[in-house]
Structure 1
Amino acid sequence: MSAVRAIAGQSLRLWWRERRLPGVLLLIVLLGVLSASLSIQRAHETERDRIAAEATDRDTFANQGARNPHSVAHFSRFAFRPLAPTAALDPGIGPYAGVAVWMEAHYQDPANLRAAEDRVELGRFTDLSPAWLLQVLAPLLVIALAFDALAAERERGTLLLLRGNGIRMRSLLAGKGLALGLVFGLPLLLLAVAQVAASWTTAEAGELLLRVLAWTLAHALYLGTWIALALAVSLRASRARIALIVLLAAWTLATLIAPRLAIGMAEALAPTPTAAEFSAALARDLREGMDGHDPADARREAFKQKVLAEYGVERIEELPVSFAGLALQEGERYGHIVFDKHFGALAASYRAQQGWRRLGAMAGPLPALQQLSMAAAGTDIDHHINFINQAETQRRVIIGLLDQNMTTHGAGQDFDYLADPSLWKRIPEFSYTLPRYAALAASQVLDWLLLLGWLLLTLWLASSAARETEAAK
């Protein structure tokens, strides 16, 4: 172990004299501080805007005066999604998924108010985040330090001297790996500590720590994979220049090409409808029925006859309740079936795409890491679908209360009935509950296995290179 520590110290001193280590550290510190600051600032601005929008929406709804409940149902409320306490680590799909759902009558709306729509003028600079720094840039910095860590020793002839002095190749690899682990592990740890400190007063401690721990561990495995790969290539390469070319090619394939190919394949194998196609399919099922042979007019007439029979009257005017209110409730009930079908199918397509994107992990660990990173940050598709479902549950509660009030108190008046303004204040507020991270663990097992598999593979490559070097004369 003392030999490993000595090699690590010697490697750090060498990189410092060559001025590579100061340059790498300066870049890590500057971009780390910048990415963390920007991410935390964006998170604070988003939460500030959400709180202000919620207050405006609440006050406007509560102070609208006496109105017909169904008119209010069309006016309705917005459900705003609060950010997860770890969202600053990885924005994920958040800027593109929408943060607000309009909970109106008759229709389940998709999320809107996408943050990306407000950032066009800043371009890709707004994508800078701790996740991007560690997932895209950090492997390049690993390569910058490690490409000649062993290949240069071979070129100078010092590799044979080290072997002659009894230094085992595995000890040499372990020492170089320890040095690289310190260079990149400490900034990763500092980012994790900064996230915990920034969210400690506003998040549940156990949930926050679990998410940050998972995020940190996933990135540690990823960086370990690149360190092991870089050392394996450097040890096998006859010249440092060859090692650099091979590693840059591997980075290009694993970081730029494979993830994009996986996304394209996922969209081709599990396509999702366009917004226009989705809306048209919803409207068709609502109008013509789920099987295409149950039109809305026929359903309404059948429901009317059923209500008249239940109340033992012959005309709507004789009902002790508002038939319009009953019809609205029945329409909502049927709509729930339609919405569950189409939004459920859409969610299934998104999850299928998520599965197909894992194919990209065959060419590199990044796709698996991205899934784990977004899940820990609370910014993946599963968290978004969870928000949509909670908003829809709230929409059904709100519309149900308003339609029931009209049914009970609007007999003989229907849409002319005006409810007391106190009703609006009794409508429950939307309160989003962040899913427990532990509850999502089952869906992430494959990603953890893929990431761990890549680490084990690169460690085996490095170990094999060390064994073959020792066996060579």
Structure 2
Amino acid sequence: MISNLIQNEWLQWRRNSQVRWLTLFLILISLIALVHQLSYQSHLLDTRLKAQEDSRKEWLSQELKHPHMAAHFGNYAYKKPTSLQCLDPGLTIYTGTSVYMEPHRQNDFLFSKSQESDTGLRFGWLSPALICQLILPLFIILFTFNSVNGEFEKGTLQLLLAQGVSFRKVLFSKMLATFILFASFLIPYFLLTAILSYILFDGDLNLGSLLYLLVIYSIYCIIWCLLGVLVSAHIKKIGTSIAFLLLIWMFTNIIMPRMSANLAENIYPLITNYELKKGIKESIDNGLDGHDPKSDRALKIEKDLLVKYKVDSVQQLPFNFEGFIMQQSEDYSSKAYDLHFKKIFSTLENQKKVQTWMGIASPFIVIRNLSMSTCNAGLESEIDFQTQSENYRRSFVQNMNNDMKDNSAYNTFDTYRVKKGKYNAISDLHIENKSLIWLLQSVIIENIWLLVWSISLFILMFRSRINLIYS
């Protein structure tokens, strides 16, 4: 009986010219979003590879100079995009794609797409993820707002019930028919995106992540199918039901994400970039506790070394004191950066937690976080990229400072030069993307909310009774 009801639903849609036009429009805007995102990712990939290659060539081809000056020539760290970012670019649009690494400081990310774009980016970056998260629910609403109350107005619902079909089966059939229809769009769309991304990224595709994305987006689709059918079943007037569904869409997909972001910023405000840099400078100059000036630290290190090696001056040390003290200064500044950036990362993570918990009122927030994380474009991935690049920066700067300490004499800053081949000994940076299991550890609550939404709506559907609604 359920299969007959589903087939009847599809037959009615096939006879409706408006449904055909809506379907064509959905396919059209989805293909536009896919082409747009593939074009952007292709350009980004080519630009990153060329920039990384050019940066390496410039590092290797620089003239032989003092190791610390060579370190100041710097290196660049470039994010390693994944093929799934063709589906959902996540935060990579806003956080930049590279970072310049040099001694003494951690630099900001460069070349953020949001810095290059106008205010239109505030409304969302056109991508397959945006289509599936924001636009697809609208189409589901258009297919379900009159699915039950429309049958009641035509009198066909009463005929079905008179033939012994339970009201629950009617609702389930309506929901399942809508879900199968949109799943027949969603699955090929994801597979097409995956195939084209696979070609673009030369076979770099995580099948486990792709399968997980298909599952969560399917559940998201089911949630909206259930919402549409339930509202149609509980509101007799068709005009009222579509208005109510649109209000739900606006609240969950537009208002709640904005409210959650504003609330998170108010509860856990971020300091300005000026305040951050000022705090780091004060920690370096005056000590992490504010009572350990830079000059006093240098004198203490010098005295300790003289006592340890039983010499009268730093010139008598078995290594170049200038290189040693330079690395000590580098280590201390790194501690200062760690102290302040830890606070920044903690604030960002707390902001995300606020938005995550508010996902109980918005499946859009839930699917957005899950999608970004799975595509290696969430907050944790951005922090991990900064951590990896910073670890590399410290390693290569230490390597150059140690060359100065071990191979040069005191007070030869203007005359000492690194040996040939030293630049080549500094390996290039290769960012490693995390596994799906690592990524999903940060979105456990979102997975729970997704199940809570779907299970709750299923319970409401199976507890719905015709005599309570259309009495």
Superposition TM-score, scaled by structure 2 size: 0.95
- Asked whether the 8 Å contact 1:196–1:209 carries over to 2, the reply is no
Q: Provide Cα deviations, 1:116-173, integer angstroms capped at 9, x if missing partner.
A: 2233397568711111101111111011111001111111222111111122222212
**Which residue number corresponds to residue 449 of structure 1?**
448
- Residue 423 of structure 1 pairs with residue 422 of structure 2: yes
- Residue 41 of structure 1 pairs with residue 39 of structure 2: yes
- Seen in structure 2, the aligned counterparts of structure 1 residues 30 and 179 have a Cα distance that, compared at 3 Å, is same
**Which residue number corresponds to residue 16 of structure 2?**
18
**Which residue number corresponds to residue 310 of structure 2?**
312
CA deviation after TM superposition for structure 1 residue 392, in Å: 0.7
**Which residue number corresponds to residue 129 of structure 1?**
127
Tell me, in whole angstroms, the C-alpha distance in 2 between the residues paired with 1:122 and 1:443. Answer: 30
**Which residue number corresponds to residue 212 of structure 2?**
214
**Which residue number corresponds to residue 198 of structure 2?**
200
**Which residue number corresponds to residue 267 of structure 2?**
269
Tell me, in whole angstroms, the C-alpha distance in 1 between the residues paired with 2:64 and 2:362. Answer: 61
- Asked whether the 8 Å contact 2:380–2:442 carries over to 1, the reply is no
- Residue 246 of structure 1 pairs with residue 239 of structure 2: no
- Seen in structure 2, the aligned counterparts of structure 1 residues 33 and 125 have a Cα distance that, compared at 3 Å, is farther
Tell me, in whole angstroms, the C-alpha distance in 2 between the residues paired with 1:14 and 1:342. Answer: 62
**What is the correspondence of 1:155-234 to structure 2 with a 5 Å cutoff?**
155-200=153-198, 202=201, 208-234=206-232
CA deviation after TM superposition for structure 1 residue 468, in Å: 4.1
CA deviation after TM superposition for structure 1 residue 279, in Å: 0.8
Tell me, in whole angstroms, the C-alpha distance in 1 between the residues paired with 2:326 and 2:467. Answer: 78
What root-mean-square deviation, in Å, do the aligned CA atoms of Structure 1 and Structure 2 show? Answer: 1.9
- Seen in structure 2, the aligned counterparts of structure 1 residues 331 and 471 have a Cα distance that, compared at 3 Å, is closer
- Deviates further, 453-462 or 39-48: 453-462
- Residue 60 of structure 1 pairs with residue 81 of structure 2: no
Counterpart of 1:16, as a letter, is R
Tell me, in whole angstroms, the C-alpha distance in 1 between the residues paired with 2:402 and 2:27. Answer: 59
Structure 2: segments with no counterpart, 5+ residues: none
**Which residue number corresponds to residue 463 of structure 1?**
462
Tell me, in whole angstroms, the C-alpha distance in 1 between the residues paired with 2:343 and 2:121. Answer: 33
The correspondence for 2:398, drawn from 388, 397, 400, is 400
Matched residue count: 469
- Asked whether the 8 Å contact 1:233–1:243 carries over to 2, the reply is yes
Structure 1: segments with no counterpart, 5+ residues: none
- Seen in structure 2, the aligned counterparts of structure 1 residues 57 and 472 have a Cα distance that, compared at 3 Å, is closer
**Which residue number corresponds to residue 437 of structure 1?**
436
CA deviation after TM superposition for structure 1 residue 472, in Å: 6.7
**What is the correspondence of 1:373-412 to structure 2 with a 5 Å cutoff?**
373-412=371-410
- Asked whether the 8 Å contact 2:285–2:294 carries over to 1, the reply is yes
Q: Provide Cα deviations, 1:289-345, integer angstroms capped at 9, x if missing partner.
A: 010000101001111112222232212222332111001110111122212211122
- Asked whether the 8 Å contact 1:361–1:450 carries over to 2, the reply is yes
Counterpart of 2:462, as a letter, is S
- Asked whether the 8 Å contact 2:148–2:232 carries over to 1, the reply is yes
Tell me, in whole angstroms, the C-alpha distance in 2 between the residues paired with 1:121 and 1:229. Answer: 32
Superposition TM-score, scaled by structure 1 size: 0.95
**What is the correspondence of 1:227-376 to structure 2 with a 5 Å cutoff?**
227-376=225-374
Tell me, in whole angstroms, the C-alpha distance in 1 between the residues paired with 2:101 and 2:408. Answer: 23
Counterpart of 1:441, as a letter, is L
Partner SS state of residue 301, structure 2: helix
